[in-house]
Amino acid sequence: MSIKLKREGYGLAMTLGHLCCDINGGALPAILPFLMVERGISYSAAAGLTFALSSLGSLIQPIFGNMADKHSRPWMMSVGIILAGCGVSLLGFLNSYWAMFLAVMLTGIGSALFHPDGGRMANYVAGEKKGRGLSNFSVGGNLGGAIGPMLVVFGITTFGLRGTAILAVPSVLMGGFLLMQSRELAAFAQEGSNATKVAMQAGQKDDWRSFFKLTGVVFLRSTISTGMTTFIPLFWLNVLMQSESVSSTTTTIISIAGSVSTLIGGRLADRYGFNRVIRTGLVCVIPCMIVVILSRSVILSTIMLVPMAMTLYLAFSPSVALGQKLVPNHIGLASGITMGLASSFGGVVSPVLGRIGDSTGLPVVLWILVGTAVLACVGSFFVPDAPPAVQAVPQEEKTNSQAAS
């Protein structure tokens, strides 16, 4: 028996679903130190688990996105959330490294099942406010990444390593709730698919050339985002000479500021245009990054983390929404690429930057990220804004017009 919600309620459900799905990926980095101490895995083995999560799941997201465009299966979102939670939650019960690897892969596959259809459904239930709807959906993932570490650390410190099982609770509950809503979600999907078919008959086309230009900018922005969360804490630790606990708080500051900015970015995009907001964020993030790198004042650098994160994340949800508008006939595929492949690209580049940091020093890595921001900023000026929506003529009016003529 399902609970009937208002349209806005389904938008909130998509946001909470995104949160419960991404709790698990966010929790993995917090689990790794416990696995290293209690299971004796090495640094390279820990990195292998991270790679299994970020790369596999992200790379197959476009495949599931393309499947969602051809035939919507809302129940796949529910299965995805449940698999994402069950995979990582098993880590505390496993002794074999390859069993751990497979468990993390399960989480990656679950995440890949959820995101394309979730992004597509968030688009459909948003109505005319696409930027707002996608920003709400995106911030759910940001909050999940922030809540995951806190939840799993609570579970492990309270129940021991097997406390990783606590991650399955929100995933199973949310997955079960969305499964009960499958009929209503299928109706939204059918409504969206019908609108797309009518618009295609009226001349709506995909602008793949502009979409791939946007994808390049999104990949560069993802590299900056991943680099910030990876190397800024190390910069605080090794260059600004702060303690481990103080250095770790930089990730929390970036996450909170980024979540707030994600909400703001979508709303601004609805009012002022998607690409204008993307360009503004990428232009403003450059001086903020430079101040953080050059300053040796802990107070000033910490203060500047807020505008640096906010200007970078300002472009996130407008990029996802713009991608869907550029290829409106393949919304699921667009979501899989802008949310999935982008994440994997940042994860693949990060180890390369780490090797550069080992050989030349951490400030060099941060200057490379500044250069990446400049490239992303320049690239954004080659991406057109969202095309006007095709105004499809209803079939009845079309028939009456033909009869009159």
What pLDDT was estimated at residue 306?
Answer: 94
- pTM of the predicted protein model: 0.74
How does pLDDT run across 184-219, given as a tens digit for each residue? 777 776 676 666 667 666 666 888 899 999 999 999
**What span, in angstroms and rounded, lies between the C-alpha atoms of 277 and 225?**
17
All residue ranges of the chain with pLDDT < 70 are: 1-8, 43-44, 47, 68-69, 72, 127-128, 130, 189-190, 192-197, 199-204, 244-245, 248, 343-344, 347, 388-405
